[in-house]
Amino acid sequence: MTALSLEEELGSGKSLVAVEAPAGCGKTYEAVGFTARMAVERRRTLILTHTHAARSEFLSRAPTGHRPFVRVRTLDGFICEIAAAYHLGLGLPQDVMSWAVERKNGYEDLAVRVAKLLTRFPMISKRLSTFHPLIVCDEHQDANADQDAVISSLRAAGSRIRIFADPMQNIFGPRKPLSDGLCELWARAVESADSCKRLSTPHRWERGGCSELGAWTLVARERLSRGGSIDLRGGLPASVVVATVSNVAKRRLEFQFDRDDRQPIDSFIKASDSLMVLTRFNDTASSLRSVFNRRIPLWEGQVRKHLQAFTASMEQSEGDGPGLAAAVVEFVRNTTVGLSQSAFGNALMEEVATGCLRKRRGRPLKIQGLAQELLARPNHQGACSLLLELRRLLRHDPQFRGAKIDRYREFRDAVSLGKSESLKSGIESLQRLSLFSVPKPPPLSISTIHKAKGLECTDVAILPCDRNGFRDDWQSRCLLYVGLSRATSRLLLVVSRDDPSPLLDY
């Protein structure tokens, strides 16, 4: 369809307009352009995304001169805002976000409660629609039934809804597709929409990228969506590199390869100034740090699971020095490398338990100094002060050479909690900051495909492409497609020699 006809549809008075497009074919471009036009006309627009990466992408492209008329939130964050306003009626504490974060499936439970609230009290939806007359829903195929019900309630109350989706990017949740490849929720949305438009021009690769890679990516999408596999046996564009390796790692989900297999991979990475190394599992992403000699940092996104566990342990161990020491040791174990349990963790625990009474020198003396931070202040401030001093030692002290912080942002956020008088206020401060921050990955980074969704990068490497990571199921097909469609210029697929993914013909 033409850009003019889509612009007319989005700007019309229709209650619901659905736009379907493959990755890189203009969903974000059209959504941002439409939002900018509405802002120029001083019409308020709310943009709802499913990931913080996508939210950052919208914020980076949003029209700066008209920010008061544009709000960008994650859908979970928006539902939290509604729940916080009506927390008493929902039987929730005022700090709804902390409540959701601390519980397994907390955000899903929150969506259930808010959907029921809006259904039972339509006057709340009416008030919300007054503040949000125009709502743009990005990647709506990732919404669950209750999140969709919240949006539907606002539509019924008068908000105009514009939803953008790609069924082949449905990577959050195990929802199975219908026979035509559409997820059920998106199929219902298309059916109930006043109009549905489809985009097919690969803008991502035409504006400064590799057009041959864009055309190949669309062909790969078509094959995956129809239950087929991607043919790597010939006819590949020069921008697609395939390397075969054997995984010699001993532990499940970790990845290592022999020196003889390195050359094509190292050559690809050495030639790149902008690269994302993508994999399916968090444990695999962590193990890839050592594969590349720790020269490529992990991109953590907005998720801070180790920090969340650390704050929960500190809250339970307030005033308990040994308990706080155990919390610190576990957090350090998960966010650093080179600080072993025997050489660091046990030593710190012993110093706290014995009151730092023994005479020490060298590295044990430095660890004793860390323990004294906890003994002086057996609370979150003492624990965070310990981490601050440990960070200094790791940076500058030769006795800690070889040990490094692996998850720098998570470690940094933990240190910042010590600036607050109470642990609760520190957590709330970090949560407020996350609402307005615009995190972007560094030029070279390792990440999971889930965290990279909504981003794009000049070069992308996907590894390992084996049966464990990419089985022959719908979610694996979507994950592989999301990963390879992040690249704008070059793509490297590292295929398992011994157990290749059935989604690749090699």
Number of structural domains (the chain) is: 3
pLDDT of 1 above 80: no
Lowest mean pLDDT among 53-57, 144-148, 229-233, 313-317: 53-57
Q: What is the mean pLDDT of residues 276-300?
A: 88
Range of the domain at 17: 3-201
Contacts of 411 (CB under 8 A, 6+ apart): 335, 336, 387, 391, 405
Residues 178 and 212 in one domain: no
Residues 387 and 493 in one domain: no
Residues 43 and 129 in one domain: yes
Q: What is the mean pLDDT of residues 18-23?
A: 91
Considering 404, 420, 436, which residue would you say is the last residue of a domain?
Answer: 436
Q: Which helix (H) or strand (E) holds 51?
A: none
pLDDT in tens, 32-61: 888 888 887 888 899 998 877 777 777 777
pLDDT in tens, 405-415: 888 888 999 99
Residues 430 and 451 in one domain: no
Task: Kindly report whether the global pTM for this prediction surpasses the value 0.85.
Answer: no
Residues 372 and 474 in one domain: no
Task: Give the domain CATH number at 50.
Answer: 3.40.50.300
Query: What integer pLDDT is reported at residue 182 of this predicted model?
Result: 52
Q: Are strands 336-337 and 404-405 parallel, antiparallel or unpaired?
A: antiparallel
Considering 166, 201, 236, which residue would you say is the last residue of a domain?
Answer: 201
Residues 144 and 16 in one domain: yes
pLDDT in tens, 158-183: 999 999 999 899 887 555 555 444 56
Query: What integer pLDDT is reported at residue 123 of this predicted model?
Result: 96
What's the chain's average pLDDT?
A: 88
Q: What is the mean pLDDT of residues 310-322?
A: 90
The 8-class DSSP code of residue 415 comes to H
Residues 191 and 93 in one domain: yes
Considering 166, 186, 201, which residue would you say is the last residue of a domain?
Answer: 201
- Residue 87 and residue 94 in contact, taking contact as beta carbons nearer than 8 Å: yes
Q: What is the mean pLDDT of residues 369-382?
A: 93
- Identify the residue whose tokens are 């109350």: 157
Residues 9 and 84 in one domain: yes
Residues 20 and 153 in one domain: yes
pLDDT in tens, 22-35: 988 888 888 888 88
